Structure 1
Amino acid sequence: MTELPLLGAAMSFRDLPGLQDFILTENRDLELQDFIEATVLEGGWKPLADKVRRLLAGYTGRLGIHGPFWGLNIATPDPDIRAVVTRRMLQGLEVCEYLGATQMVIHSPYTTWDFNNLDNFADRAAYDRVLQNCQATLAEPVRRASDIGVTMVVENIEDKDPDIRRILADSFNSPAMAVSIDTGHSHYAHGSTGAPPVDYYVRRAGNRLEHIHLQDADGHADRHWCIGEGTIHWPQVFRALGELTSNPRLILELRDKSDILRSAAYLNRLGLAR
C-alpha cells in the first residue's frame, strides 16, 4: 500500500446520521447491520432500506450488509433446517440487490469442538461432510450472489484453524465466496483456545481476504472495544494487511459507535490507517 488504508465502519441506520460526515466525505466502506434479524427480513424490510437510501444520498463507496446469522448454521445436516438457512441467506441477498450492496457477511460454521474432533475420522471424512453440508445450504445463494454482483464473506467465530474458512470459500470455486476476519474473534481464539495471533489469520487468508472487522479485545471474550483499549498488536495486523492486493474492506465494528471516530484517530496517530 502506497498510502494509509481508508477505514470504514459497521453500524445501524440509527447510527448513520451522527456519522454521515465520516462516511460520506470520503465515501468510506460501510456495513449495515440492520438486516440480521428474521423479524426484519420477514416483516417488511423495504421501508427501512428506503430510509438508508435517503441517508446515503450521493454515496459512492463500497456498501455491504451483515447477513442473518442468529440460530443459523450453514453446515446443518438437517434438510428442514437447511431450507430455513438457505431462505434467510437469499433474503439477505435480496436486501443487497435492493440497496446496491456488494458484500454480505455470513458466519463460519466451525467450532472449537470441530478443531479437536474433525480428525477423529479417517480420510478427512468429517471435514468433507462439513463442506458438503455448506455447499448444499449455500449452492443457491452463491449462484444468486454471483448473478447480482455480491460477494459473501465468511467470518470467523470460534475458528481456531486460520485456514479452514479459506478452504471452505475455495470449495465453491466462485468469486461470490471469500474470507472475512474478525480481529476480536481471532484474538479470543488466540488467548482462550491457543490459536495463532491475529496477524497470522491475515497472512493465512492471503488475497482471499476481502473483509475484516476491526475491534479490540483482551483475548478472553468478544469485546468490540475501541481500538487501543485491548491487547491486539495493531502494527503487526496492519503490516500483514499491507502485504495483500485484495483491498479488503476495513470495517470498524465497535459496540459503542461513539468509539468509531476515536478508533480511527488512534490508528491514524500510529500511522496505520486513516
Structure 2
Amino acid sequence: MDLRLALGLAEALERPSFPEGVGLEVYLDPGLLEEDEPFRQLAAKRPKRLSVHLPFWNLDLLSPDPEVRGLTLRRLLLGLDRAAELGADRAVFHSGIPHGRTPEEDQRRAERLAAALKPVVRRAEILGVELFLENTHEPSPEGLKAVLEAYPELGFCFDAAHARVFSHTPEPAPWLELDPHHLHLNDTDGLFDRHWNLGQGVLGHRDWLGPFLDRTLVLEVRGDPGPSLRLLQELAAGRLTPS
C-alpha cells in the first residue's frame, strides 16, 4: 500500500521520524517557498515516497485580478520546481474555483482553466512530476472531468470530505467515476472540513475505499494518525466489512 502522511513543510522538518512504511506529502507553505534552506533540509531527511501539495490559499489562475492570476502561476511553477528538487514523484493542486459557484459557472470555467493550465502541465511533464487535480469547491465532478479530458497526463485526486462539505454532490460514487489515482483521506461530521481520523465521522470509508487501496493514499488528519492507520490495515486485510 502506497500510504503517505500529509504535513506542512515546517512540521515535516520538525518531525524526528515518520511511521514505518509511510511516505510523506508535504504542503509547500508559501511563506517558505522561496527559501532554499528548508528544502535542502527536507531533501536530506525525506522518506522514500514523497509527494507535494502545491500552494493554494487565495490563489486562482482565473481570478479577475491580473496580479492574482500572475501570482498563482508563479506559485504553481515554483512549487513544481521545488517538488523536483525534493525528488517528489507527484504534486497535487486545486482548481481555485470559489465556493458557491453554480454548475453552469463551473462548466464555463472549465475550458478557460484548461487553457490557463497549459504552462503548469508542461512544466510538470518536463520535470517528471505527475500532476493531480483535487476536488475542492466544485459543485459536481463535471467541471473537473472536462479539464482532465483536456490533459490525459493529468490525474485526479479525490477528497471525500471536500465532496461532502463543499460540493452539491456529497456521495463518493460520482467522483470515483473520474478514476482517482491519488486520494486524500480524513473524516468529517459532514458540516466542516474537520480532518478527523478515519472512522470518526460520516464518510464511511469502509464502504467504498476498498477498490482503491492500490492507489496513493494520503492521510490528511490532525494529531495522531494511528486510528486511521489501523483502519486502513484492517481494511486491506479484509477484516472490515461494509457498514
What TM-score does the superposition give when structure 1 sets the normalisation length? 0.77
2:216 maps to which of 243, 249, 264 = 249
Q: Distance in 2 between matches of 1:262 and 1:16?
A: 23
> For residue 147 of structure 2, what is the aligned residue in structure 1?
168
> For residue 178 of structure 1, what is the aligned residue in structure 2?
155
CA gap of 1:16–1:254, structure 2 versus 1, over 3 A, is farther
For 1:252, the aligned partner's letter is L
1:70 maps to which of 47, 51, 57 = 57
> For residue 208 of structure 2, what is the aligned residue in structure 1?
237
2:175 maps to which of 176, 201, 208 = 201
Q: Distance in 1 between matches of 2:60 and 2:18?
A: 37
For 2:198, the aligned partner's letter is I
Superposed, 1:146-161 pairs within 5 Å as 146-161=125-140
Structure 2 SS opposite 1:254? coil
CA gap of 1:197–1:16, structure 2 versus 1, over 3 A, is farther
Q: Distance in 1 between matches of 2:66 and 2:114?
A: 12
Structure with more relative contact order (C-alpha pairs < 8 Å, separation 6 or more)? 1
> For residue 131 of structure 1, what is the aligned residue in structure 2?
110
Bigger drift between 10-19 and 215-224 goes to: 10-19
Structure 1 vs Structure 2 CA RMSD: 2.6
Is the Cα–Cα contact under 8 Å of residues 12 and 42 in structure 2 kept in the other structure? no
1:20 maps to which of 17, 21, 43 = 17
CA gap of 1:84–1:18, structure 2 versus 1, over 3 A, is closer
- Whether 1:81 aligns to 2:68 is yes
Q: Distance in 1 between matches of 2:84 and 2:60?
A: 23
Superposed, 1:23-34 pairs within 5 Å as 25-26=20-21, 28-33=22-27
Is the Cα–Cα contact under 8 Å of residues 82 and 137 in structure 1 kept in the other structure? no
C-alpha displacement at 1:271, in angstroms?
Answer: 4.2
C-alpha displacement at 1:103, in angstroms?
Answer: 1.4
Structure 2 SS opposite 1:101? coil
Q: Distance in 2 between matches of 1:103 and 1:135?
A: 19
Q: Distance in 1 between matches of 2:234 and 2:203?
A: 16
Q: Distance in 2 between matches of 1:150 and 1:51?
A: 20
Q: Distance in 1 between matches of 2:29 and 2:182?
A: 17
> For residue 216 of structure 1, what is the aligned residue in structure 2?
187
CA gap of 1:68–1:18, structure 2 versus 1, over 3 A, is closer
Q: Distance in 1 between matches of 2:198 and 2:16?
A: 17
- Whether 1:105 aligns to 2:101 is no
1:50 maps to which of 27, 40, 44 = 40
Structure 2 gap ranges (5+): 239-243
Bigger share in helix:
1
Name the % identity.
26
Is the Cα–Cα contact under 8 Å of residues 17 and 55 in structure 1 kept in the other structure? no
Q: Distance in 1 between matches of 2:193 and 2:53?
A: 17
Q: Can you list the C-alpha shifts for 1:117-156, whole angstroms capped at 9, x where unaligned?
A: 43xxxxxxx734x234323432212111100111221111
Structure 1 gap ranges (5+): 119-125
C-alpha displacement at 1:60, in angstroms?
Answer: 2.9
What TM-score does the superposition give when structure 2 sets the normalisation length? 0.85
C-alpha displacement at 1:21, in angstroms?
Answer: 4.5
Is the Cα–Cα contact under 8 Å of residues 183 and 214 in structure 1 kept in the other structure? yes
